[in-house]
Amino acid sequence: MSCKCMRKLLSVAIFMLIGLMIVGCSGLMNGKPNFEHVAINVKDSAAMADWYVENLGMKIMVKGDPPNNVRFVSDAGGNMMFELYSNSDALIPDYPNQDMLVLHIAFEVDDVKETCDKLVKAGAAWDKELTVTDSGDEIATLRDPWGVAIQFVKRAKPMI
């Protein structure tokens, strides 16, 4: 493995460790793990993180340097994070052409239509129009400007 590749891997590992320290390891205290983050390799992680912060009220918890531009981005409640990074040595999936059933990120919101309309104005695109399930859940799916499927739900009966 080349020195350049090793530096990149070490950089990602350090940022992951920092993310653990910032968020905490509360799940380890009760003996059961809690979700901490999901990693997503994208073409422009810095711009993607900024878009999520600006349009969904998320927070950047850790900000890395080029070339990977790692960003740990937390939801507004601090419940979970994305690790967004740009690593051209690894596969960057073709998100725009990937079925949303393969991967989507779901957000619980108070008003699905209002949230989706706002995000479309900010550069997202419709993928699946708003529907109401038999159980009364409202669900719609957009594609963020990088083509990643993002779903918005308002549950009739909260799942968590």
CB 152 within 8 A of CB 104: no
The neighbouring-strand residues paired with 41 are 85
For residue 20, is pLDDT > 80?
Answer: no
For residue 21, is pLDDT > 90?
Answer: no
Q: How far is CA 151 from the centre of its chain?
A: 11
User: What's the one-letter identity of residue 69?
Assistant: N
In the chain, the domains with their CATH numbers are: 3-85 (3.30.720), 95-154 (3.10.180.10)
Cβ atoms within 10 A of the Cβ of 140, count?
22
Confidence of residue 160 (pLDDT cuts 50, 70, 90): confident
State the pLDDT at residue 31.
85
Measuring CA to CA, which residue among 120, 125, 128 is closest to residue 99? 128
State the pLDDT at residue 82.
94
- What percent of the chain is modeled with pLDDT above 90? 74
Q: What is the mean pLDDT of the chain?
A: 87
What is the rounded average pLDDT of the residues 110-119? 98
Q: How far apart are CA 140 and CA 47, in angstroms?
A: 24
Give the CA diameter of the chain.
55
Cβ atoms within 10 A of the Cβ of 134, count?
6
Q: How far apart are CA 46 and CA 42, in angstroms?
A: 10
Phi, psi of 22 (to 5 degrees): -70, -50
Q: Which DSSP letter does residue 110 get?
A: S
